[in-house]
């Protein structure tokens, strides 16, 4: 028995912010901050902020724009964060709402209905509440029987959730599972931080997995193997949590949002990813040159280029290693799945590919697939 991916879906917000727009807003904030702290800056008590630059952002990251759920609040130099309306408990949550859209596209692509689904796994870097599980809310809204749960392995949540789904299907617990990744990254990004204010965007992806043989889609990918690895690091961190109040922590402290040591992450994660993919392919007796496509986590174009060069021993072709972060920025768990969703239809039966996510933890997940 084997498992196939029979459908994928994507929710993309209507609002987007270009680098120029983001920089203009940030630089207005810099002017306001420096003006309000003029005396302290002159006395050497406070360090003056320096402006951001759109060309520099593109050079260091490859990002040109990002989609967000709310543009106005982010670009307001007096606010610098999304302005999302609080919803009552009897109204569908934001994460569940965007998940439904992605899930329905995945179901439609697979020729399935919610009645065919046995479980929902919601894997993303940030969940908007502790409980009840967002996955159970998605399950309820779609009218799915069975079970559902949330999980978080940061940017690797999608591949880790995929392995869980594969294991459940192979063990006979379920025949058909929806994996959904609703990452609202603008909610945990510090837009007042020059070094990171451009990194993230919002999106939601969904993947339908089924026992091979019960699928109706003509566009299926058989999962040949999954491999996961984690190694603890503080270089990417977010300290927001339910113990903040008991610890008397300030909710506005920068560490309650995304923080990272970018150079250390680059240096340490690249070899970890290369080793993971290389080993995973060797374990499945697959030569690197037999892989037609690598759908990598979309965090930084320079990082993905280096990973690709080390894997292939040459510069990659744009089709071999698709890039979507120029348009979407880093969408955390959704990134590699967006790349897969938008760059899979041209593959023919028998061609091989690798979906690979990596990020905070550190965590790396690799999924080897073959076009059915």
List residues with catalytic annotation. Answer: 155
Q: Which residues are registered as beta bridge partners of 150? A: 122
- What's the token pair of residue 332? 């955390």
CA distance 344 to 327: 18
Cβ(354)–Cβ(295) under 8 Å?
yes
Residues composing the chain: 372
Q: Do 349 and 325 touch, CB atoms closer than 8 A?
A: no
- Cis peptide bond N-terminal to 155, omega within 30: no
Instruction: Name which of 358, 359, 207 is nearest 294 in CA terms.
Output: 358
Cis peptide before 65 (omega within 30 of 0): no
CB atoms within 10 A of CB 48: 12
Pick left, alpha or beta for residue 62 (phi over 0 → left; psi -120 to 50 → alpha; otherwise beta): left
Instruction: Say if CB 51 and CB 195 are below 8 A apart.
Output: no
Measured distance CA(162)–CA(168) in Å, rounded: 10
Q: Provide Rg for the chain, Cα atoms.
A: 21
d(CA 107, CA 72): 33
Quickly list H helices, 251-347: 262-283, 301-312, 325-328, 335-342
* Structure tokens that stand for 153 in this block: 């392995």
């Amino acid at each position: 028995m084997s498992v196939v991916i029979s459908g994928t879906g994507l929710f993309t917000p209507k609002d987007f912010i270009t680098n120029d727009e983001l920089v203009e807003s940030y630089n207005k904030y810099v002017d306001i901050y420096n003006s309000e702290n003029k005396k302290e800056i002159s006395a050497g008590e406070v360090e003056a902020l320096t402006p951001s630059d759109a060309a520099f952002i593109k050079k260091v990251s490859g990002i040109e724009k990002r989609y967000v759920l709310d543009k106005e609040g982010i670009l307001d130099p007096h606010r610098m964060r999304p302005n999302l309306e609080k919803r009552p408990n009897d109204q569908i949550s934001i994460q569940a709402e965007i998940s439904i859209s992605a899930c329905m596209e995945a179901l439609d692509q697979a020729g399935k209905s919610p009645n065919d689904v046995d479980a929902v796994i919601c894997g993303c870097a940030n969940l908007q509440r502790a409980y009840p599980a967002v996955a159970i809310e998605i399950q309820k809204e779609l009218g799915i029987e069975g079970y559902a749960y949330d999980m978080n392995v940061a940017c690797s949540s999608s591949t880790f959730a995929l392995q869980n789904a594969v294991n459940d299907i192979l063990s006979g617990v379920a025949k058909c599972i929806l994996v959904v990744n609703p990452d609202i990254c603008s909610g945990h990004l510090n837009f007042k931080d020059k070094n990171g204010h451009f990194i993230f965007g919002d999106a939601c992806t969904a993947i339908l997995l089924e026992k091979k043989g019960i699928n109706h889609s003509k566009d299926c990918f058989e999962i040949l193997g999954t491999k996961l690895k984690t190694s603890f690091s503080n270089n990417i961190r977010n300290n927001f949590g339910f113990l903040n109040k008991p610890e008397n922590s300030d909710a506005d402290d920068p560490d309650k949002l995304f923080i990272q040591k970018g150079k250390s992450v680059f240096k340490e994660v690249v070899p970890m990813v290369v080793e993971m993919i290389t080993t995973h392919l060797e374990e499945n007796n697959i030569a690197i040159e037999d892989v037609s496509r690598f759908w990598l986590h979309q965090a930084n174009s320079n990082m993905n280029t280096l990973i690709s060069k080390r894997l292939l021993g040459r510069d990659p072709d744009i089709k071999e290693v698709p890039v979507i972060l120029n348009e979407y920025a880093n969408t955390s768990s959704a990134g590699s799945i967006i790349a897969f969703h938008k760059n899979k239809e041209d593959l023919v039966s028998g061609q091989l590919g690798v979906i690979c996510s990596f990020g905070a933890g550190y965590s790396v997940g690799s999924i080897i697939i073959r076009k059915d």
